[in-house]
Amino acid sequence: MNFKNIKRSIISVSDKSNLKIILPILKKFNVQIISSGGTFKKIKSMGYKCIEVSDYTGFSQMLDGRVKTLHHKIYAGILNIRKNRKHKEDLKIKKISNIDLVIVDLYPFENKLNKNVKYNKLIEYIDVGGPALIRAAAKNFNDVTVISDVVDYKLLTKELLVNKGSTSIEFRKKMSAKAFGLTAHYDSVIAGWMNNNLNIKFPKNISIHGKLVEKLRYGENPHQDGSFYKIENNLGIKQLHGKNLSYNNYNDIYSALTILKYLKKNQGTVIIKHANPCGVSSEKNKIISFKNSLACDPVSAFGGVVAINSSISKNLALELKKIFFEVIIAKGFENDLLKILKEKKNVRIIDSSTFVLKNKKNYLFLGNSFLTQDTNEIIFNKKLKIVTKKKPTKNQLESLKFAFHICKFVKSNAIVLSNAKSTIGIGSGQPNRLDSSKIACDKALKFLPSKIKNSVAASDAFFPFADGIEELIKLGVSAIIQPGGSVNDKEVIKAADNAGVVMVFTETRHFKH
Amino acid sequence: MNFKNIKRSIISVSDKSNLKIILPILKKFNVQIISSGGTFKKIKSMGYKCIEVSDYTGFSQMLDGRVKTLHHKIYAGILNIRKNRKHKEDLKIKKISNIDLVIVDLYPFENKLNKNVKYNKLIEYIDVGGPALIRAAAKNFNDVTVISDVVDYKLLTKELLVNKGSTSIEFRKKMSAKAFGLTAHYDSVIAGWMNNNLNIKFPKNISIHGKLVEKLRYGENPHQDGSFYKIENNLGIKQLHGKNLSYNNYNDIYSALTILKYLKKNQGTVIIKHANPCGVSSEKNKIISFKNSLACDPVSAFGGVVAINSSISKNLALELKKIFFEVIIAKGFENDLLKILKEKKNVRIIDSSTFVLKNKKNYLFLGNSFLTQDTNEIIFNKKLKIVTKKKPTKNQLESLKFAFHICKFVKSNAIVLSNAKSTIGIGSGQPNRLDSSKIACDKALKFLPSKIKNSVAASDAFFPFADGIEELIKLGVSAIIQPGGSVNDKEVIKAADNAGVVMVFTETRHFKH
């Protein structure tokens, strides 16, 4: 066993409210405390003994505190290897004492960044002394204990009590790993901020940092352990009711909210199954919107995630109650309506009122590597081009835009059939476009044959051949929207013209995998 | 404009081979150099003037170099705000001079980690002084230039030449952002190593770090910027021929190699389209294996990614040449065979001989947050349970295992039909299991009706109702493998028994989204 007795500590913290947890135990074991500035004053005011760091080093603080603890006497006291005779000798010659415990939290850079503190002010919140102290102690975990998180004050107290003023190597190692996790996170936030300001999208070194929100019951499957981390402090989703969210719930909820974000404000419904939409409607009337999104594939909707882009009305709550959903998401639930929904078995209820999608980049992990790219923000980046003899009516055009819009969120190859602003058939995740077309058509024929008249179709990428659109024409769609750009465009347009069907090119592709 | 003249520098580098790039320019502009240890000796030996850091600080190095530059005289020289009168006064009183340039590279921790240096030795490669210097200079970018990457020595030279011994604020900001990117990466590697050693899967703070491999022509779609980063140093894929890999190529290549990894060593073929397999075979004979994987869906295979789990033979090269693939992957290509394949238009050729999947965790990004979990390593974690009256033959069981195995890699809901060790129908990415069953059956009927006899089916999760398996029975499969666990299992088993079809439960689910 490798226990280390603690005789001397250095404490420097931004958040002083928890000092009361550790000071009594340090006193109990006669641990000397070195501190400076606000922490020093606070400790003294609480009636504990404490040495000012400048008294300890013999070097007065300067540059408004920019250089306080950055002193060799401190670092030699932390970094020396206790069992190394030469190190011992070095310390003796220079009259330097060991420092066995470092308790530091860092200037709250991320916090200030989130509060939109101005650029020049923000720089002052880049802590230099703190990370240096933490890292020195964390490197020398064999001899030194580092506490970098107020949450661990209680653990330290317990550890010292159990081991009579000492800490175990297991404890020190854990605290060391945490410390490096913290400094990595801290610098990742700073680097991200700087790169953003410089408009550098793809820096040489990139770090994506997350804070643990919760350990999940399991991952995508029961034999995989999983956890959920946040990048932004405010996730904007609040669970009001139900069992803990699962890995797949989180994935589906995110898929749903991403689609809603791009629908008209406070309008629309999305139903998600296996991270793909199986019904979307952007009708103004909440009930119609919900019913239409459900009607697109009522079989698949069972056990899915439904997201409403507004608050819930009583009538809607009663409709929602009729169907089994694993998760219901909306922008606010009045108490009495929440009561109605809570009567459903096994439902999780999420308030997404404050959901905002901040990230402008996404990441795709490939084991030893990852891809990163801009999030797919736009829908059309070119003017629409009508390529058939027949031109779309105003209503057709609106419906085409809606269908193409939804295509963006369906896994490729994606075909979306819509009537007005509701999907009536979604073909997703197929290795060729004809298959996706067939699936979408089969759905429409099965569940909504009455809505095929005047329906339109959208494709996330160009049709390489006419076969896909022939399938759609056979079904009876009145108009088709697609990026265009195939070597066979002529043939494809001809097929549309022959059938008297409108075709619109977007010149914008929306692959999603 | 904010140009800062450089009068004094501190240099401390592990990699000394590039000093020759910067020393002449520093001499040209009379920049004083402070250095220590190996860097000091090297600079002197090259005939340049240099002050030992201990002469500069008046404090001799101690603890075998663990404390060298961690001295207030150094930090005050770096951190003071030049335009701040009080800071100026502080420096004057303490007789401290400005340090305007910090050139530091860090102890090569990651490098040593990859070389499996022992735990206790590795700790010595955790740099404490280096990151502290870099971070101090990077914080004070308004006055100080920090160079943390040897790649930037040439940029610095150019900058000093153009600006006659000064650097611009733009340059200093860029170098500062890089510096924080480096320290974030550095500590992320250390934290990851420590957490691994402690078996901590989900630490409170997690950072995923990547090094830029290349900026891509674009992301998933042409209007998205994209880049490729590596986590592990050795990606194990080497492009031998063809245009640059695209975002979607990388995604597909990874999907292919992940499947091959789990096939029998040096055996098998995978064809990927839109990150899903559209044909897999694990036949021993290379030609049969390729032909079978192609036959599963020759329409979708067009323009796909094909991956061979072995080296290429001449016959195979000739077969591959007949089909248009965007990417061909194999474990080694002899020169004359490479020549044959290079004749194909627009093909990218990848050697995956050294591909190893190291990561034990994967990450799924959800905008403001991410999910992380164990990679899905196992195929079966329970003993197989035969639930029908009819028992599988040895061949059937082998084929069932293969089909279930492939299910793991197909996006949910996944249904895989196989004959022996080759897929004959893959149904992927559907919001309900019946739809996936139908798609798989349609494929088999369309492309390989002769192989339906004696075929088997696998499902990545349980059948919630009998409808899905009725579809498979109607097609004519002889056996079905699935996790089981539905409330309707009885009904499902009964349907199999009535049809005289074998059913095996795995009790292991393989969702993939």
Q: Using the beta-carbon criterion (under 8 Å), do B139 and A128 form an inter-chain contact?
A: yes
Q: Does A357 touch chain B (CB under 8 A)?
A: yes
Q: Which of A124, A135, A443, A508 to mutate to test binding with chain B, by most B CBs within 10 Å of its CB? A: A135
Rounded Cα–Cα distance for residues A333 and A337 (Å): 6
Q: Using the beta-carbon criterion (under 8 Å), do A227 and B435 form an inter-chain contact?
A: no
pLDDT tens for B89-148 read 888 988 999 999 999 999 999 999 989 889 889 999 999 999 999 999 999 999 999 999
pLDDT score for B233: 85
Token pair of B7 as six digits: 């009068």
With residues binned 3-state (H G I as helix, E B as strand, rest as coil), the percentages for chain B, rounded to 5, are: 40, 20, 40
DSSP bridge pairs for B277: B272
Q: Is there a contact between A417 and A441 (Cβ–Cβ < 8 Å)?
A: yes
Quote the minimal CA–CA distance from B106 to chain A in Å: 14
From the list B370, B374, B428, which residue is nearest A231 (CB)? B370
- HEC letters along B392-420: CCHHHHHHHHHHHHHHCCCCCCCEEEEEC
**DSSP state at residue B164:** T
Catalytic residue among B7, B16, B139, B241: B139
DSSP annotation string for B461-513: S--SSSHHHHHHHHHT-SEEEE----TTHHHHHHHHHHHT-EEEE--------
Please state the length of chain B. Answer: 513
Rounded Cα–Cα distance for residues A269 and A321 (Å): 15
Rounded Cα–Cα distance for residues A297 and A279 (Å): 6
Q: Does B273 touch chain A (CB under 8 A)?
A: yes
Closest of A401, A426, A397, A422 to residue A413, by C-alpha? A426
Please list the rounded mean pLDDT of every run of 10 residues in chain A (513 residues): 92 93 96 94 96 88 78 92 90 92 95 89 94 97 97 96 96 98 97 96 95 97 97 91 97 96 94 97 96 97 97 95 96 92 93 89 94 94 94 97 97 97 97 96 98 97 96 97 97 97 97 96
Collapse the DSSP code of A166 into the 3-class scheme (helix H, G, I; strand E, B; otherwise coil) and give the result.
strand
- Strand intervals (E) in B326-446: 327-330, 348-351, 361-365, 369-374, 385-386, 415-419, 422-427
Q: Is B72 marked active-site?
A: no
State the DSSP H helix or E strand holding residue B308, giving kind and residue range, or none if neither.
strand B305-308
Q: Is there a contact between B278 and B300 (Cβ–Cβ < 8 Å)?
A: yes
Q: Is B139 marked active-site?
A: yes
Q: Does B324 touch chain A (CB under 8 A)?
A: no
Query: Based on the number of CB atoms within 10 Å of its own CB, is B236 exposed (0-12), middle (13-18) or buried (19 or more)?
Result: middle
Q: Is there a contact between B505 and B482 (Cβ–Cβ < 8 Å)?
A: yes
Please state the length of chain A. Answer: 513
pLDDT score for A184: 97
- Strand intervals (E) in A44-197: 51-52, 101-104, 145-147, 166-167
Collapse the DSSP code of A416 into the 3-class scheme (helix H, G, I; strand E, B; otherwise coil) and give the result.
strand
Closest of B84, B229, B135 to residue A184, by C-alpha? B135
Residue A309: partners with Cβ closer than 8 Å, 6 or more residues away: A260, A263, A264, A265, A266, A267, A268, A269, A270, A331
Cα three-residue angle A419-A424-A430, rounded to 5 degrees: 125
Rounded Cα–Cα distance for residues A292 and B435 (Å): 20
A452-485: burial string, b at 16+ Cβ within 10 Å, e else = bebbbbbbbbbbbbbbbbbbbbebbbbbbbbbbb
Quote the minimal CA–CA distance from B291 to chain A in Å: 18
Q: Does A46 touch chain B (CB under 8 A)?
A: no
From the list B72, B212, B412, which residue is nearest A71 (CB)? B72
Quote the minimal CA–CA distance from B113 to chain A in Å: 15
DSSP bridge pairs for B373: A226, B362
Token pair of B278 as six digits: 């559209």
Cα three-residue angle B160-B164-B168, rounded to 5 degrees: 60
Question: Measured between beta carbons, which residues in chain A are less than 8 angstroms from residue B183?
Answer: 183, 187
Query: Based on the number of CB atoms within 10 Å of its own CB, is B293 exposed (0-12), middle (13-18) or buried (19 or more)?
Result: buried
pLDDT score for B69: 84
A264-285: burial string, b at 16+ Cβ within 10 Å, e else = eeebbbbbbbbbbbbbbbbbee
- Runs of H (alpha helix) within A4-96: 19-28, 37-45, 53-57, 72-79, 85-93
Token pair of B347 as six digits: 């093909």
pLDDT tens track, chain B, 513 positions: 689 999 999 999 988 999 999 999 999 999 999 998 899 999 999 999 999 998 998 877 777 777 788 888 999 999 999 998 988 888 898 899 999 999 999 999 999 998 988 988 999 999 999 999 999 999 999 999 999 999 999 999 999 999 999 999 999 999 999 999 999 999 999 999 999 999 999 999 999 999 999 999 999 999 999 999 999 888 999 999 999 999 999 999 999 999 999 999 999 999 999 999 999 999 999 999 999 999 999 999 999 999 999 999 999 999 999 999 999 999 999 889 999 999 988 999 999 999 988 888 999 999 999 999 999 999 998 899 999 999 999 999 999 999 999 999 999 999 999 999 999 999 999 999 999 999 999 999 999 999 999 999 999 999 999 999 999 999 999 999 999 999 999 999 999 999 999 999 999 999 999
Looking from the CA of B201 toward its CB, the CA atoms found within 13 Å total: 20
Catalytic residue among A87, A88, A112, A139: A139
